[in-house]
């Protein structure tokens, strides 16, 4: 695309076309057909949720720190977008019933004190560390790119995943689906945001991106950093296969608990489904916008 076309095209549309390869990776993958089968171990699901918390905690701390940056301020609605508090609540409730002898009641205590969480947090993958370091060093405009990749995916693909995986992992029973619920833009409206309001949030987000980046240089920076964010996410997904964590085994309520510890090395078929799932969260808005 030549500079004139870039200048005349809204940033949100350029971002969509500029990350089309990532979209095709999911759309053309046979694993997407098995996406809704929920064939991943519960422990892998919780491990990835912990990784997500650490990622969002870093992203949202950086957004808060740079909230006055003119390239970021139009998107500074952490009251709507922030996912780290929701993930904290979900993790507390996901982990609370999984070890009978642990004095951690549902909705109380610190999820980081759970033996499984302690083990996972001590063995975070290098891909996640690299991703977080990049976010910490990002400019306001670059942070907007990272917010775009994560939040628009959560607002689209995440809504589908909530419905499909809720039953498999008892998310409703465990009160562990806050990650998928967004507040409305207007706090006087009902929580969580319904489908129409989620669409409004996505529209507001894209419009904010168009305000943030108007020059060719600004749009180029936005697209380049979004492309890097997709790579960081892909690297993190790959680590679900090669980065094993030695931790206490987890089980869903009603399942027989295991006494011994084990290494989290899910079977390849499970991992393919999980990789497709988290990719869909990142870029699902393309298909369901």
- The more confidently predicted of residues 8 and 234 is 8
Reported as a single tens digit per residue, the pLDDT across 192-243 is 999 999 999 999 999 999 999 999 999 999 999 998 998 888 888 778 778 8
**pLDDT for 6:** 87
Reported as a single tens digit per residue, the pLDDT across 52-101 is 999 999 999 999 999 999 999 999 899 999 999 999 999 999 997 654 44
**pLDDT for 49:** 92
Q: What number is the average pLDDT over the span 108-123?
A: 89
**pLDDT for 243:** 82
Reported as a single tens digit per residue, the pLDDT across 154-190 is 898 777 777 777 888 888 888 899 999 999 999 999 9
Structure tokens at 149: 């990749």
Contact in structure between 136 and 54 (CB atoms under 8 Å): no
**C-alpha distances in Å from residue 99, one per residue of 93, 104, 222, 258:** 12, 9, 44, 9
From first CA to last CA, the distance across the chain in angstroms is: 24
d(CA 26, CA 239): 18
Among residues 193, 278, 225, 243, which one has the least CA distance to residue 18?
225
At which residue do the structure tokens 């996640």 appear?
Answer: 128
Prior bond to 192 cis, omega within 30?
Answer: yes
Domain definitions of the chain by residue range: 3-286
Torsion of CA 49, 53, 59, 63, to 10 degrees: 130
Residue 276 has pLDDT above 50, yes or no: no
Architecture of domain 3-286: Up-down Bundle (1.20)
**pLDDT for 256:** 54
Residue 111 has pLDDT above 70, yes or no: yes
């Amino acid at each position: 695309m030549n500079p004139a076309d870039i200048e005349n095209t809204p940033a949100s549309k350029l971002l969509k076309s500029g990350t089309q390869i990532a979209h095709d990776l999911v759309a053309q993958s046979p694993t997407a057909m098995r996406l809704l089968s929920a064939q991943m171990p519960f422990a892998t699901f919780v491990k990835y949720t912990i990784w997500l918390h650490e990622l969002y905690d870093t992203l949202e701390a950086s957004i808060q720190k740079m909230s006055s940056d003119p390239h970021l301020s139009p998107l500074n609605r952490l009251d709507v977008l922030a996912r780290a508090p929701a993930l904290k609540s979900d993790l507390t409730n996901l982990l609370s019933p999984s070890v009978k002898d642990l004095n951690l009641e549902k909705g109380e205590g610190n999820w980081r004190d759970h033996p499984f969480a302690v083990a996972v947090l001590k063995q975070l993958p290098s891909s996640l560390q690299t991703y977080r370091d990049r976010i910490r060093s990002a400019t306001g405009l670059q942070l907007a790119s990272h917010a775009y990749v994560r939040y628009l995916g959560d607002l689209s693909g995440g809504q589908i995943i909530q419905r499909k995986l809720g039953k498999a992992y008892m998310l409703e029973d465990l009160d562990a689906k806050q990650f998928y619920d967004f507040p409305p833009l207007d706090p006087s409206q009902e929580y969580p945001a319904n489908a129409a309001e989620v669409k409004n949030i996505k529209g507001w987000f894209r419009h904010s991106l168009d305000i943030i980046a108007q020059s060719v240089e600004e749009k180029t920076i936005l697209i380049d950093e979004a492309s890097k964010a997709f790579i960081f996410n892909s690297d993190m997904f790959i680590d679900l296969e090669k980065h094993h964590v030695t931790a206490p085994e987890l089980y869903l309520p009603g399942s027989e608990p295991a006494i011994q510890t084990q290494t989290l090395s899910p079977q390849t078929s499970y991992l393919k489904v999980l990789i497709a799932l988290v990719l869909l969260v990142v870029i699902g808005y393309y298909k369901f916008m």
